[in-house]
Amino acid sequence: MEFLEGEGLKKRLLESYSRNPSGWAFVISPSPRSGFLDAVVTGPEEAWMLKIDSLFKPFPTVLGAAAEEAPARPATSFPFGFRKLSPKMILQLLGGGTHGPSEERIAGMLSVLRSKTVVPEEGASYAQGPFVLTDPGKMGLSERQRELDERLTSEMRRFLRTRYPAYG
C-alpha cells in the first residue's frame, strides 16, 4: 500500500482529476477517534482516503492512500471541482464593497456552482469546491476501509513525530 503526502498526493489527485473532471466529491469529517480530520476524495475512476492534521493552518499536513472501493458519501447537489471565474464574477462574489449577502451575490455563487467543472490552466482564475463537511462517523466505512483508516492514522502519527519531534 502506498501512502502519499503533500505535493506527491496533490499531483496524483490533480492528474486523475485532469483525465476526467466530472463526478468528483470531497467530503471531510472530524475523526471520532484520532483527533485528525478524515477526508474522502472520489472521482469516476478512483477513491482516496485522507488524514488531515488541521483545517486551521495555511498548509496542513495531509496523508492519503488509494481506497479499493469508494466509501459511501453524503449526497450533494454540486460536484467538487474547478470552475472558471472571470474577474467580473470575482468582484461580484466579493461584494464590490457591500457588506452581507445580497440576492445578486447569492445568484452569482449558485451560477458558479452550477457551471461545468474544468481542468485548471495556468494563468486563469478558478473557484475550487465545494468541500462537504459532515458529522463525525458519517462516512459509513466498510471493514477494509476502517483498516485503511487505522493505517492512515498510524502513519500520520509516525509522520508527525518524525517531522515534529515534540509531537505526542
Helix boundaries (H) for the chain? 6-19, 87-94, 103-114, 143-163
Find residue 66's DSSP bridge partners: 48
pLDDT digits (tens, 9 = 90+) for 122-131: 999 999 999 8
**Residue 147: C-alpha distances to residues 2, 64, 144, 151, 154 (Å):** 14, 14, 5, 6, 11
DSSP 69-111: SPPP----SS-BEEEE--HHHHHHHHTTT--S--HHHHHHHHH
Q: If you average pLDDT over residues 137-152, what whole number do you get?
A: 83
Asked whether the predicted pLDDT for residue 145 surpasses 90, the reply is no
pLDDT digits (tens, 9 = 90+) for 22-41: 999 999 999 878 889 999 99
**Cα–chain center distance at 71:** 14
Asked whether the predicted pLDDT for residue 1 surpasses 80, the reply is no
Question: Over the Cα atoms of the chain, what is R_g?
Answer: 18
Asked whether the predicted pLDDT for residue 134 surpasses 70, the reply is yes
Asked whether the predicted pLDDT for residue 113 surpasses 70, the reply is yes
- pTM assigned to the model: 0.84
Report the mean per-residue pLDDT for the chain: 87
